[in-house]
Structure 1
Amino acid sequence: MTRTSQKADRFTESVIRETFRLAAQHGAINLGQGYPDFACPQELKDAACAAIAADDNQYPMTFGTPALRAAIAEKTARTYPGWAVDPDTELCVTCGATEALVAVTFALLDPGDEVVMFEPWYENYQPNAILAGATARTVRLRAPDWGFDEAELRAAFGPRTKAVFLCHPNNPTGKVYSAEELAVLAELCARWDVVLVVDSIYEHIHYLGPGGYLPPALVPGLEDRTITVNALSKTYAVTGWRVGWTVAPAPLTTAIRKVHDFLTIAAPAPMQAAGVAAMALPDSYYAGLATRYRERRDLLCEALERIGFALRRPDGSYYVLCDSAPLDPARDGTAFAKRLITEAGVSCVPAVSFWRPEHAEEGRSMVRFAFPKRTETLRAAVERLEALTPR
C-alpha cells in the first residue's frame, strides 16, 4: 500500500487550479486565475530573447545574478527613498514568489512554532505552514472594509509566535493596510520578537495615489525584522516566467538562501536577464500600470454591481471579492462558481477556501473575480454574465 504523509493529507489541491481546468474544459472566459491576457513590456521580451541567443542557458549564481540583484536594489531605493538594500547580503532571487514564500517558511519555522495569518488569505500560506510543521493562528479580516480587530490580533501573539504573514496589498480582499495598522503590527512584532513576512507582489497595483502604499520595511520597528517577497509576475505581466526575490536583513537572507539552494538551485538565467530590463523601466510605467488597472477595476465592478453582486471596490491588487448571495438563494459560492462556468461561460473562484474550515461560513457565498485582462475580454465576460438567468 502506498502511504502518504499526514501533512499532505491536511490540505487539498488549489481551488484556483481546479477552476482553471474547468474554465478550459468549457471554453469559459477565465476571470478566476490572476494572470494577464495581454503582452508584457517589449523591453522584457527583447532582453530574454537576447540572453537566450547569447547562450545564457546554464546555472546562474544560486541566489541570483549580480546584475539582477543590483538592479532590484537600485529600483527599490528609487521607488522608496530611504530603503537601502545591500544586493550582496540582503537579496535572494527565487523561482517566483511562490518558491520565495516556501523558502522563507522553511527558513523561519520549526515544528511547534506558530505563525499569525490574516483570513481570508491567499491559499498558499497555510499549506506552507503545515509543511513546516507550524501552527497557523488566524486573525479575521471583516467586511466591508476588511479591517482587523486589534484585540483579536493581540490575542493571536504568544511565546511560540515566530512570524506573521501579510499580503499587502491583499489577495483576495484588495485591502491595503494603513500606516496605523502597520504600526500596531510593528509594536507586536517587536514585543514578541517576531518576523514579519510581507507578500508585496501587488505593490504597484493600488488605487490610492502616490504614497498610498507603505512598505512595512520602512515602518519604525520593522526595519530589521521584515522579509519582503516580490516577483516579476504581476507588475510586468509575466506570471509564467517564475522569477521572484526576497529582501531581508542579512542573517535572515543567509537562511533563506540556504533553503532556496536545495529547493530549486536557481531561477531561470534568461528570465533573470529580462528582470534587469524590467527594473530599468521608468517611473511612468508604474503610474500607467495603476491607471490602467483602475479602469479595468471600475469597468468590472460597475458591471458586477449592476448585475446584483454585493462588493467593495478593492483599494489594491487586481481581484474583487464579491458576495453572490443576492443572486443565489442557496448561498453556495462553490456551486454558483461552477454554474457561471457551465451556464454563463465565465469563471471565477469560490472563495470559501480562503477561510479556515471552522470559519468557512463567512466565505460560503463569496466568489473572487480577477481583472488583469484586456478591456475587450472584460466586456465580453460582462455580456455573458448579464445573460445569466436569475434563480
Structure 2
Amino acid sequence: MDLAAWMLSAAERDTGGAFNVAGPAGHATIGDLLTTAAEVIGSDAELVWAPGELLERENFPLGMEFGLRYPGNPRPTGLHDADVRAALAAGLTLRPLRETLSDTWAWLRREGDPTPRPDTRPRPSGSTRLRNGTSCGWSGLAAQRENIRSICFDHRKVHLMPPAFSAAEKTRITRLLLDNGLRLFTTQGLRKTSLEDLVAGTGIAKSTFYVFFDSKEALYLELMLAQMAEVKSRVIDGALRKEPDTRAGLRAFLHATLAELDGNPLYGRLMTHPEEMEAVVRKLDPERVTSAPDNPVTALAAFLTEHGDDLVDHDPEVIVGVLQAVLMMPLHRDRLARLDLYPEILDRLIDIVATGLTRPAQ
C-alpha cells in the first residue's frame, strides 16, 4: 500500500530514477509482524520462538526464502539489506505496521474470507523431538506443500501440527479441482479461467489452491497427462501400429487423431488454441511433457524413425509437419465451397498424404 501510494505520487510529480523501495532496516521485525497481525485479527495463537543456534543446527532454511538471517551472521539477504535512503528522500513513507495490517485484514474480510476455516487452521495433536531432547512443531505452510511446514521451537515443548487436509480430503478436493479445470479450460480457456472459478464448489479459498497445484498451468498439465495414456492407446497402439504396413498405419493414425480431436474437448482445444499449450510449456518444465512415457507425439516420432526406410523423406520433422497440416483441416472446413463434401474430401486428402509420404510396397 505504501509503495503503491508512493509510485502514484512519484508519477504525478514526474520523479524519475532508480530506487530501492524495501522498508528500512529495523522498521519492523518478524516478531512485530506476527504479534501485531494476531492482535488485529483477534487470534489467540501463541508464538513460540526458536533460538537461532537451534535453527542453524537443524539446517532450517532462513536466508532468502524467509528473508531472515541467523543471529551474528553478516551474510546479506538481498532486498532486506538494500539502501532505501534515496526513496525516502523522494517521498516514500511507511505507515505504522498496525495500520497496514488492519487495512489488509479489512480488505480480506470484504473479499469473503473473514475467519479462518477448519480446513486451514492447524490443530495440535502431539509432539516430536529433535536431537538432544529439543521438541519441534510443524504447522501447514501452503507454499511448501504438506511436507514442508512452518516451524516453532522452544527448549521444552512444542506441538506437532498435522497437515491442513487429511489424505481423503486432499484426494477429494484434487478431484474437484481437476473436474472444474477440465470444464473451464475446455469452454472458456486457460487465460479466462480465474482461481475463483477453479475453487468454486471445492470449499477452499483461492490462496489454498496452491496447496494442490503450483499454478493454473500445472493443473492444465495434470489434465493432459491424465488423458495421455488413453490418447496414445487410441491413436498410436490402436491405429498407427496396428496396421500391417506404414502407409496403412499413417492413414489409420490420421483418421484416429482427427476423431480424437473432435471428441476430446481438452486435446481438441490444444489444436484450436495452440497458445495455451505454449503457455503451459513456458510456465512449467517442458521435459515433463516430452519425457512422459505415454506421450503420443514422442511415440509418433519413434515410429517414423523405426520405419524410415518406408518413407520418401527420412526427416521425421518434415513428415510430422505434413501430418499436422492434415490435422488442421477441420479448422478450415467452413471455407470449402461445399461443406457436405467435407468427409469425402478429408478421406481423399488422407489417402493422398499417406501415399505421398511412403514408398510403394516391394
Normalized against structure 2, the TM-score is what? 0.29
Give the structure, 1 or 2, with the largest relative contact order (CA under 8 Å, sep 6 or more). 1
Normalized against structure 1, the TM-score is what? 0.27
The structure in which a higher percent of residues are helix is 2
The structure in which a higher percent of residues are strand is 1
